[in-house]
Amino acid sequence: MENDIQWIKTHCGRMDHGGCALITGVRDNVIVKIKGDPDGFLNRGYICAKGLASPGRLNHPDRLTHPLRRTGGRGEGKWERISWDEAIGSISENFQRIKEHYGARGVAFCQGMPKGIEHFVLIRLANIFGSPNVVSVQDVCHAPREVTGLHTCGFYPVADFHLKTRLALVWGSNVTRTNEEGEICSLLLDQIRSGTQLIVVDPRQTELAKKADLWLQLRPGTDAALALGFLNVVIEERLFDEGFVEAWTYGFEDLARHVKRYPPEKVAEITWVPPDLLREAARQYARSRPAAIQWGNAIEQHMSAFDTARSLVCIMAVCGNLDVPGGNIQANEPNILALGKFVRADLLPNKWKEMIHTFHHTIPKLMTVPPAFLRKAMLEGFPYPIKGAYVQCSNPVMAYADSRMTVDAIHQLDFLAVADLFMTPTASLADVVLPVATHFEFNDIGHYGLGHGYILARPKVVEPPEACWSDIRILHALGRAMTPKEYWFDDPDDLLEALLRPSGITYGQFAEKGYLKGGDTFKKYESRGFSTPTGKVELSLSTAEKFGLRALPECPQPPADDPDYPLILTSAKDPFYMHSSYRWVDSLRKKSPEPVVEIHPDTASKLNIHDGERVAIETRQGGITQVARLTDGVHPNVVNAAYGWWFPEDDITAQDTWTRSNYNILTSAQEVGREFGTPNLKGIPCRVRVAGRNRKLVS
């Protein structure tokens, strides 16, 4: 019966960065229908398979519905139910105790991919508690792009697909599948349909690579060299925007001299991209103005992330594409509470002196601790011990490079609390597990702090299970228990009102409107310059000496061929899951039932591997098994493995569930890029072999 359904508008969240406006049909506190909202600002009616499946997260029989306290050894799976008062009391007592012994900095506050405003409430709690150590996965997700942007041109340049662009250069971003940063790909597809040229840089033949005018199938992990090759062609062939370069850049002559060392022929040896193809791509990009670079995770899941990002900002700049409509823009935020005020940055103004990563000499302006350095502190006490951790919206055992290191580090902790909606490999190691209310079940705001110039309303559409609390509510309760109450609100929703207050509207009005957007103004530098020390785009960094950074983008020597590990391993995100999340949602699991590794048929034939067969994938770090899929969409020397796999249907106490097929068993966090603590997640020497005939991973 349609007529007893109540229709409520909200926005999608937590299945990726979120962004699609949704219309949900609710009956008896259950979402029974869901569709894309044709009026949606970003999606105009679009909804993907994950969005359609998202209500399935709420009613799973194994969802956590009570706070739990560990009664056996860590990871033994023995729990007792406790009340919320006991849970908050226990976390607060343990963190206070650690604070007394080791200082507030001995407690780390860990966040996964930011899902809504809970990330910023967590930073607020850490600041008020006095710990400078907010940990996030930004080392491999956005910090390299954002912070390098800040140092090079004073802002984070995002692709503008809202206004007409003549050419899109999609670099290491699988945006039709990941809708990276909630920039729903339909905007880009509309542009392509209306004649925008497309160049794709990706080792796999993605959907966009198939549509592209040019596809540069590079060797994984060599983006830094390819980007320098682009600069070489643009500068040597004088295809750059002379007026902009003259007026608004610093260090052009140095850069021009420097990139002479990277002619396309030399770059081809490193990247496998034919010299003439690279020339053609660079020419097309430079001659099509405006052009936008859509840059994805691939550039920052490698130790050379800083150099690659530096080169890409330099390319945008010298070709006159910075902050122009349809280029890479500095988005204007709507008039809402500034992040610094929201998180009460004023309470810990010198936190940068104390943050763990400062002792590893990372780049200035990196405000969250890279996981590699967090675990060093947990395991080795350098630069000082971390003894307590609060983990929300994250599954570090699966998401951090080197999963075994994460588990070992957790075993060194005095106290770990994890807030999640399911018993994950990380939660299974905790002292206290908190059951959360999640998306659809509380009022939230999407895209705050993402730098795209808008925020989206995510009003609640159903009530959560009785004992499930939203992260915002949990953090308020913790704040009240272990920090001065004056910093917290009586009703956690008042925080949303405070965030919106400068705009003059209430949360109710915001929910009606759906989104708030900053104004469309461009070329702000003409009136105020670029926010860098020289007021210009720093092609050569004026602060290089002061901060110990490389002034000009470099490229590392490619690793020497390793005869024992002759193939190159990389990965892309599964279109049906969010990292390690939601393999327990039945409708999604049917679409992607098992971890699949893509291998070229010629390589498979040499190794006697058949389609559908279980194969072992091994690196110098470790080995896992996945199911082979033969495809010529990958280069014969490249293997593309699935990431994020554990098996929620297994006994969570069995170590095998997080070791069997987990990509991060193959990665290492021993060697990392100094600027961001970034490990190599892509471009790793590996080998594959048959692991056993006709045996599927999932029984």
Residues 6+ apart with CB under 8 A from 546: none
By CB under 6 A, is residue 667 in contact with ligand MGD?
A: yes
The amino acid at residue 204 is R
Q: What is the DSSP letter of 515?
A: E
Cβ closest to ligand MGD, residue 354 vs residue 598: 598
Interface with ligand MGD (CB under 6 A), residue from 137, 337, 516, 551: 137
Q: Which residue is nearest to ligand MGD (CB)?
A: 112
By CB under 6 A, is residue 141 in contact with ligand MGD?
A: yes
Residues 6+ apart with CB under 8 A from 532: 151, 152, 153, 154, 250, 538, 542
Q: In angstroms, what is the minimal distance from the CB of 386 to ligand SF4?
A: 33
Q: In angstroms, what is the minimal distance from the CB of 446 to ligand SF4?
A: 9
3-state helix, strand, coil in the chain (%, to 5): 35, 20, 45
Could you say which residues in the range 547-576 bind ligand MGD, by CB under 6 A?
A: 570-575
Q: Which does 204 bind (CB under 5 to 8 A by kind): ligand SF4, ligand MGD, Mo ion, none?
A: ligand MGD
- Residue 77 buriedness (CB in 10 A; 0-12 / 13-18 / 19+): middle
Cβ closest to ligand MGD, residue 386 vs residue 434: 434
Q: Which does 464 bind (CB under 5 to 8 A by kind): Mo ion, ligand SF4, ligand MGD, none?
A: none
Q: In angstroms, what is the minimal distance from the CB of 138 to ligand MGD?
A: 8
Q: Which residues bind ligand SF4 (CB under 6 A)?
A: 12, 15-16, 18-20, 43, 47-48, 50-51, 179, 184
Q: Which does 385 bind (CB under 5 to 8 A by kind): ligand SF4, Mo ion, ligand MGD, none?
A: none
CB 176 within 8 A of CB 189: yes
Q: Which residue is nearest to ligand SF4 (CB)?
A: 51
Q: Which does 471 bind (CB under 5 to 8 A by kind): Mo ion, ligand SF4, ligand MGD, none?
A: ligand MGD
Largest CA distance in the chain: 71
Q: In angstroms, what is the minimal distance from the CB of 139 to ligand MGD?
A: 9
Q: In angstroms, what is the minimal distance from the CB of 15 to Mo ion?
A: 13
What is the C-alpha to C-alpha distance for residues 33 and 441, in angstroms, rounded to an integer? 16
Cβ closest to ligand MGD, residue 291 vs residue 293: 293
Q: In angstroms, what is the minimal distance from the CB of 204 to ligand MGD?
A: 4
Cβ closest to ligand MGD, residue 172 vs residue 320: 172
- Looking from the CA of 229 toward its CB, the CA atoms found within 13 Å total 28
Token digits of residue 1:
């019966």
> Binding segment for ligand MGD among 73-81, 173-181, 284-292, 491-499 (CB under 6 A)?
173-181
> Binding segment for ligand MGD among 14-22, 240-248, 445-453, 686-694 (CB under 6 A)?
14-22
Which of 456, 460, 482 lies closest to 469, judged by CA?
460
Could you say which residues in the range 401-420 bind ligand MGD, by CB under 6 A?
A: 419-420
Could you say which residues in the range 109-168 bind Mo ion, by CB under 5 A?
A: 113, 141
Burial 336-352 (b: 16+ CB within 10 A, else e): bbeeeebbebeebeebe
> Binding segment for ligand MGD among 280-288, 294-302, 508-516, 592-600 (CB under 6 A)?
294-302
Rounded to whole angstroms, what are the CA distances from 464 to 59, 219, 421, 467, 658? Answer: 10, 47, 11, 8, 29
What is the C-alpha to C-alpha distance for residues 208 and 664, in angstroms, rounded to an integer? 27
Could you say which residues in the range 300-329 bind ligand MGD, by CB under 6 A?
A: 301
Cβ closest to ligand SF4, residue 229 vs residue 446: 446
What is the C-alpha to C-alpha distance for residues 182 and 13, in angstroms, rounded to an integer? 9
Q: Which does 438 bind (CB under 5 to 8 A by kind): Mo ion, ligand SF4, ligand MGD, none?
A: ligand MGD
Which of 441, 647, 643 lies closest to 13, judged by CA?
441
What is the C-alpha to C-alpha distance for residues 477 and 485, in angstroms, rounded to an integer? 10
Q: Which does 19 bind (CB under 5 to 8 A by kind): Mo ion, ligand SF4, ligand MGD, none?
A: ligand SF4
Cβ closest to ligand SF4, residue 166 vs residue 458: 458
Cβ closest to ligand MGD, residue 198 vs residue 256: 198
Q: In angstroms, what is the minimal distance from the CB of 56 to ligand SF4?
A: 13
Which of 359, 385, 398, 394 lies closest to 135, judged by CA?
394
What is the C-alpha to C-alpha distance for residues 568 and 168, in angstroms, rounded to an integer? 27
By CB under 6 A, is residue 438 in contact with ligand MGD?
A: yes
Taking residue 632's Cβ as centre, other Cβ atoms within 10 Å add up to 11
By CB under 5 A, the count of residues binding Mo ion is 2
Token digits of residue 206:
């993605």
Taking residue 416's Cβ as centre, other Cβ atoms within 10 Å add up to 25
Residues 6+ apart with CB under 8 A from 664: 398, 399, 400, 401, 402, 403, 643
Q: In angstroms, what is the minimal distance from the CB of 141 to Mo ion?
A: 3
Q: Which does 47 bind (CB under 5 to 8 A by kind): Mo ion, ligand MGD, ligand SF4, none?
A: ligand SF4
By CB under 6 A, is residue 395 in contact with ligand MGD?
A: yes
The amino acid at residue 208 is L
Q: In the complex, which residues of this chain contact ligand MGD (CB under 6 A)?
A: 14, 16-17, 112-113, 115, 137, 140-141, 171-175, 177-180, 201-204, 206, 218, 220-221, 223, 296-298, 301, 392-395, 398-399, 419-422, 424, 436, 438, 471, 570-575, 577-581, 643-644, 663-664, 667, 681-683
